[in-house]
Amino acid sequence: MRVRKRKNGDARKAACGELVLPFDKENLSEFALSEIYPDKKTFCIEIGCGKGAFITGMAQKHPDIGFFAVEKVSDVMVIAAEKIRDAEIQNVRFLNCDAVHLGKLFPKHCFHRIYLNFSDPWPKARHAKRRLTYHTMLESFKDLLAENGRIEFKTDNRDLFDFSLEEFPIAGYQMENITYDLHASEWAKDNIVTEYEANFSAKGFKINRLEAFLPK
Ligand SMILES: C[S@@+](CC[C@H](N)C(=O)[O-])C[C@H]1O[C@@H](n2cnc3c(N)ncnc32)[C@H](O)[C@@H]1O
């Protein structure tokens, strides 16, 4: 997601206070979920949250769940964190880092859902390894998924979706609840629309969606 470099980015991030979890690439250690969310038992994470429409909607709909939102671009994450702060939503925490670090930051098998929404498609074949649905990245997410946990993935990009349909099985996942037109499907009623989703569906693009899980 492109956002013009903003002035006061660090100050705005600091003003979001404890909503933004500390991240030090040189000194990675596991978060204690019981300290972050003493009253929650279920945790979900969105990777690449952008400006935060999805995580805001999910957190409002599920106040019993502790959400985490990861975004590697600081100026984008700040916009999402300010949304949560201004709406006085209590059950979202942000992390400003790349997804590659998540295995070192969270306890094993702690997430009921991992949401990948409109992940960057990296259309050039030589950049395939950067896609969040490249099989090695999906393999790394296995450590994060709780028993019975699922990855929910949606994208307007049919090439990325078709690529992902091949990568999930390579990484050992099964898939179900697959649709090439989410908004016309049975999953539309529970769907929380992201910023990219609103934009692309307004332009007439169909939204692809799947759920992936690990066989027992
Ligand atoms: C195309 S945008 C979609 C944003 C939002 N999910 C939506 O649907 O509106 C993808 C977002 O994922 C972030 N992102 C991409 N790769 C990432 C990674 N490896 N770790 C963390 N964030 C990532 C980008 O910075 C960007 O903000």
**Averaged pLDDT, 136-151:** 98
Complete domains list, the chain, with CATH: 37-213 (3.40.50.150)
**Averaged pLDDT, 70-89:** 97
Backbone angles phi, psi at 179, to 5 degrees: -140, 150
Nearest CA, atom 5, ligand 1: 50
Residues having CB closer than 6 A to ligand 1 are 1, 47-50, 70-73, 76, 98-99, 117-120, 132, 194-197
Q: Which helix (H) or strand (E) covers residue 193, if one does?
A: none
Q: For the ranges 8-17, 98-107, 164-173, which has the lowest average pLDDT? A: 8-17
Determine the straight-line distance between the first and last CA of the chain, rounded to whole angstroms: 36
Burial 23-46 (b: 16+ CB within 10 A, else e): eeeeeeeebebeeebeebeebbbb
Predicted pLDDT at 169:
98
Nearest CA, atom 23, ligand 1: 48
pLDDT > 90 fraction of the chain, expressed in percent and rounded: 94
Residues 6+ apart with CB under 8 A from 55: 46, 49, 67, 69, 80, 84, 92
Whether the per-residue pLDDT at 184 is higher than 80: the answer is yes
**Averaged pLDDT, 46-67:** 98
Q: Fill in the DSSP letter of residue 89.
A: -
**Averaged pLDDT, 61-77:** 98
Give the tens place of pLDDT for each residue, 147-161: 999 999 999 999 999
CA of 216 to the centre of ligand 1 (A): 30
Mean pLDDT of the residues in the chain: 96
7 pLDDT tier (thresholds 50, 70, 90): confident
Predicted pLDDT at 3:
62
- The pair of structure tokens assigned to 100 is 């590659």
Residue 107: count other Cβ atoms within 10 Å of its Cβ: 14
Q: Are 40 and 64 in contact (CB under 8 A)?
A: yes
Residues 6+ apart with CB under 8 A from 83: 51, 52, 53, 56
Rounded to two decimals, the pTM is 0.97
Using DSSP's 3-state secondary structure scheme, residue 118 falls into coil
Residue 96 exposed, middle or buried by CB count within 10 Å (0-12, 13-18, 19+): buried
Whether the per-residue pLDDT at 135 is higher than 90: the answer is yes
Residue 10 falls in the annotated catalytic set: no
CA of 104 to the centre of ligand 1 (A): 20
Give the tens place of pLDDT for each residue, 188-215: 999 999 999 999 999 999 999 999 999 9
Give the tens place of pLDDT for each residue, 83-118: 999 999 999 999 999 999 999 999 999 999 999 999
Backbone angles phi, psi at 134, to 5 degrees: -65, 145
Ligand 1 site-directed mutation target among 4, 45, 73, most atoms within 8 Å of CB? 73
Ligand 1 site-directed mutation target among 49, 78, 95, most atoms within 8 Å of CB? 49
Backbone angles phi, psi at 193, to 5 degrees: -80, 135
Q: Fill in the DSSP letter of residue 20.
A: B
